[in-house]
Structure 1
Amino acid sequence: PGPVIIPAALAAAQENSSTSRIFLNSIIYGYEVMIRLGESIGKEHYKFFHNTATCGSFGSGIAVGKILNLNNDQLINVLGNCGSVMGGLWQMRNEDVMTKQFHNANAARTGFTSAILAKNGLTGPKFILEGPHGVYAAIAKDGDPNKIISDRYPKWKIFDTSFKPWAACRHAHPVIDATLKIEKKISSADIKNIKIKTYKDAIKFCDRVSPKNVTDAKFSLQHVFATSLIDGPPSISSFDEINYNRDDIDSLRKKIILEMSEEIEKSYPDHYGAEIEIDLNNGDNIKVFQKDALGDPGNPITEQDIIKKFFNLMKNADVNLSKIDDIVNCVLDLSNGGELNKLERLLVEK
């Protein structure tokens, strides 16, 4: 939810001179709404729609609405109008385009705009989710609206979110993690064949033997296995053209067979898992299993791991180290009442 909710909340907080406490609380509310809707909307929806795009505006809208101190009727109008214009088709995954990133931006903008307009009197449909021409009837036929209002969750949903340690599609992460668990040092020449077992969506979205561009490489189970086995933990550059076109990586990718595992499929999406089985030319067999992707609630990463990833991303964007350090310290201080204005200045200064 972060790439959708946090930019919208930060913009609204900046415009309204909000405190860090109001800003942080708005993010928690936004996460709660977006995640509950995402959990309720069903697998059929995900076949064609990018959930971050469709559910994201609900989260950003509520976050901004909280910063604007909207009442319940106004927040209902926000959600109604977000739902009325929701969209985000997966077709962009079949082409070399930047639309996936645009989905995030559009969901943030839609929520932000809907909240501003609701404050100024724009109304929206109250029954946009469960109405006869609403979201569930139109594009989430196997959805379960009761999951939105269930009170069986003991804590805020933000605590159940995942952090992505690797610069690849989340569906590819279990394969990366399983590959990195292989203790025996083996080369491509030692390998006869490789079988990767995982859940259906991972294969549907990430079956690319020969990536043609950076996005293909990030959405390739074959590539993430090969680059992780040969080079170790993947970096941003692992998905660059110079690496996905390497002969040694290409040769290894072509030895891989993908297979849907009934056991792993049953546990998905509660667990993003993968199993790797490697047959060696000398007759040996290696098996590794990853129940939860690194960064999921069942396999969490530390605060220092998250900070390290932030440093790597900012360095890749040519931000100097002292400024990165200042941003990190400023963000960590927000929960103690730190200045939100200081963060804004750091983010916009060249």
Structure 2
Amino acid sequence: MSMTDEVCSHVVAADFSTLDDFTIARVKTRVLDSIGVIAAGVHAPMCDELYDLLLSYGTTPQSSAFFRQKAIDTPSAAMINSFSMRSYDFEAIEAENPGKKSSAAHISGTTVPTALACAERAKASGREFITALALGDDIAARLGAASGFDVYGGWDNTNTINGLGATVIASKLAGLSEVQLNNALGIDLNMLGGSMDNINFKTLSFKLPMALASRNAIFSADFAARGMTATHDAFGGKKGYFFLFCGDAQKPEILVQDLGKIFYGDVVIKPWSACRATHPSIDACMQIVEAHDIDPEAVEKVVIHATPRTAAGFVGQPWEIGEEPQVSGAFSIIYTAAVAIATKAVRPESMNREAMEDPALKRLIDKIEIAPTLAPDEYQTAEVDIVMADGTQYHARCDVPKGDIYKSAMTDEEVLDKFYKNIEFSQTLSREDADRVVETVARLEELDDITELTKFMQ
């Protein structure tokens, strides 16, 4: 039996009773966080343009394009909701690996929109929705752990592991057989890809791989359901996923190790709307400004200590607003550190040209430098030195940035606060409807039809 056969057998046989309480609770947290993040990004740069483009092709009303008062075809609904969710780099991240470790990934930004769109089309129950999402998240996370992915390697795994995991979700909710699921994964293999140059050049196309993964996964499941055939071993075939995308660091055995016994997924709920590589320095800055009443205008110098690789990477570059301010801000250690010092938060409100051109913030940015002084293995670590005009010096170190459910978890209250702030920022829902979303997600497994939830986002 190939790895793909083993995965397909497991996915088709699994039902809600397969899942443990911890897995179910994690799914609910990711779903609530995702809804808030989609809301925050619904009208972010190029989201309305993508929505209009999808409408121009003609659509069959099947699933909700969230917060747009319209149902469109399911692949397009998943795509626009995923694109919106990626907007402020605020979605859940980090694929869980064995031993409560993690690797770089942004799984939920594809899997949650795919699951919501497909479940709405199928009028699936809450239990069916949770089961499909948990299965797809698990496969995507296992692929992330097994691939040996390196963010500086060139390819973007938000349309590789995400696409295959989302294909599991779409296929499960469509009721595909083992053979059909195998074919769906093979079909999706033909549409995997993505380049990290989207981020290196600070372009809005960084949002596309994740969104395309949603659309392509649903297409793959739908075509397989109609009899389309494809490679029989999308994962381990001679020219399968591991051969095409993974180098010497791959560990394919992780894909099926303890399959059905442990369910992996994203392990970080982000507290800040910026690339995770900026979070250690943000958190170190936050330690200082929360402990001391610092006047940003009285700051003389800020030194951020990072690893040489981080300092030379896409988040460590000299600050400039660039052609796409939203992207430049989210992927800049210097800018996010300045915002943290000035506002004690890093949220979507600061990811725009007007905020970036604030004279006081610009003066603070000019005083910040990055020093490549940390050991190479401290990639999730940062140290910050702030020197004031009167000579006072402050120092802080972040060993584990906030958000990892095992190492430095956000509290339930902090997750809820993030959700409500995103809803308030987006002005998409009243407080009463936002409360109803929270209550409905809390009892997801009791829903007879997932539209009991999605109706609030229409």
Partners of 1:333 and 1:86 in 2: CA distance: 35
1:115 maps to which residue? 221
Determine whether 1:266 maps to 2:382. Answer: no
Partners of 2:165 and 2:259 in 1: CA distance: 21
Query: Which of 271, 288, 300 is 2:396 aligned to?
Result: 288
Determine whether 1:218 maps to 2:330. Answer: yes
Runs of 4+ in 1 over 6 A off after TM superposition: none
CA distances 1:180-208 after superposition (whole Å, capped 9, x unpaired): 10123334455443322234347512124
Determine whether 1:86 maps to 2:192. Answer: yes
Matches within 5 A, 1:135-174: 135-142=241-248, 143-151=250-258, 155-158=262-265, 161-174=267-280
Task: Return the letter of the residue paired with 1:148.
Answer: L
Assess, with a 3 A threshold, how the Cα gap between structure 1 residues 202 and 65 changes in structure 2: closer, same or farther: farther
Partners of 2:280 and 2:151 in 1: CA distance: 23
Alpha-carbon offset, residue 322 of structure 1: 2.1
Assess, with a 3 A threshold, how the Cα gap between structure 1 residues 70 and 48 changes in structure 2: closer, same or farther: same
Assess, with a 3 A threshold, how the Cα gap between structure 1 residues 152 and 338 changes in structure 2: closer, same or farther: closer
User: Between the two proteins, what is the percent identity of the paired residues?
Assistant: 23
Task: Return the letter of the residue paired with 1:259.
Answer: A
Partners of 2:296 and 2:437 in 1: CA distance: 42
CA contact under 8 A between 1:226 and 1:252: conserved in structure 2? yes
Alpha-carbon offset, residue 222 of structure 1: 0.5
CA contact under 8 A between 1:44 and 1:141: conserved in structure 2? no
Query: Which of 132, 140, 144 is 1:38 aligned to?
Result: 144
Query: Which of 391, 409, 415 is 1:306 aligned to?
Result: 415
- Worse-superposed segment, 306-315 or 104-113: 306-315
CA contact under 8 A between 1:209 and 1:223: conserved in structure 2? yes
Assess, with a 3 A threshold, how the Cα gap between structure 1 residues 96 and 291 changes in structure 2: closer, same or farther: closer
SS at match of 1:157: coil
CA contact under 8 A between 1:203 and 1:258: conserved in structure 2? no
1:328 maps to which residue? 438
CA distances 1:24-81 after superposition (whole Å, capped 9, x unpaired): 1111001101111112222446521222122111111101111123233322222222
SS at match of 1:48: coil
Determine whether 1:104 maps to 2:213. Answer: no
Partners of 2:409 and 2:305 in 1: CA distance: 22
Assess, with a 3 A threshold, how the Cα gap between structure 1 residues 275 and 326 changes in structure 2: closer, same or farther: same
Alpha-carbon offset, residue 108 of structure 1: 0.6
CA contact under 8 A between 2:133 and 2:169: conserved in structure 1? yes
CA contact under 8 A between 1:45 and 1:139: conserved in structure 2? no
CA contact under 8 A between 1:292 and 1:299: conserved in structure 2? yes
CA contact under 8 A between 2:297 and 2:360: conserved in structure 1? no
Assess, with a 3 A threshold, how the Cα gap between structure 1 residues 79 and 260 changes in structure 2: closer, same or farther: farther
Assess, with a 3 A threshold, how the Cα gap between structure 1 residues 289 and 45 changes in structure 2: closer, same or farther: closer
CA distances 1:256-289 after superposition (whole Å, capped 9, x unpaired): 33234554x4255xxx322212344555542211
Assess, with a 3 A threshold, how the Cα gap between structure 1 residues 306 and 83 changes in structure 2: closer, same or farther: same
1:193 maps to which residue? 301
Matches within 5 A, 1:227-242: 227-242=339-354
Alpha-carbon offset, residue 5 of structure 1: 0.9
Alpha-carbon offset, residue 114 of structure 1: 0.9
Determine whether 1:248 maps to 2:360. Answer: yes
- Worse-superposed segment, 175-184 or 247-256: 247-256
Query: Which of 103, 111, 116 is 1:10 aligned to?
Result: 116
- Counting matched residue pairs gives 343
Alpha-carbon offset, residue 104 of structure 1: 2.0
TM-score, normalised by the number of residues in structure 1: 0.88
Structure 1 unaligned regions, length at least 5: none
CA distances 1:282-334 after superposition (whole Å, capped 9, x unpaired): 55542211122211121111223222222222222222222222222222221
Structure 2 unaligned regions, length at least 5: 1-106
